[in-house]
Amino acid sequence: MTEILYRLPEVMARTGLARSTIYNWIALDQFPHPIKLGGRISAWRASDLEAWLSSFVREDK
């Protein structure tokens, strides 16, 4: 099975978070870390992002 990867603009659209918030939360271990694809290219695994979104929604209730 192939893992879907999201680049930063897609992550921002799916979460509604700004770039600075995403990277601040990564530094605080409150957001999934991206994987390096080479050089200056990073992406987030869809499964990591979906798990974070699910846990974030559950904590809010």
- Residue 61's pLDDT band (boundaries 50, 70, 90)? low
Percent share of the chain, pLDDT over 90:
82
pLDDT at position 42, please?
Answer: 96
The number of CA neighbours under 13 Å toward the Cβ of 28 is 8
pLDDT at position 41, please?
Answer: 94
pLDDT at position 59, please?
Answer: 60
Selection from 19, 7, 12, 18 nearest residue 44 by Cα: 7
Tens digits of residue pLDDT in 9-26: 999 999 999 999 999 999
In the chain, what are the domain boundaries? 5-60
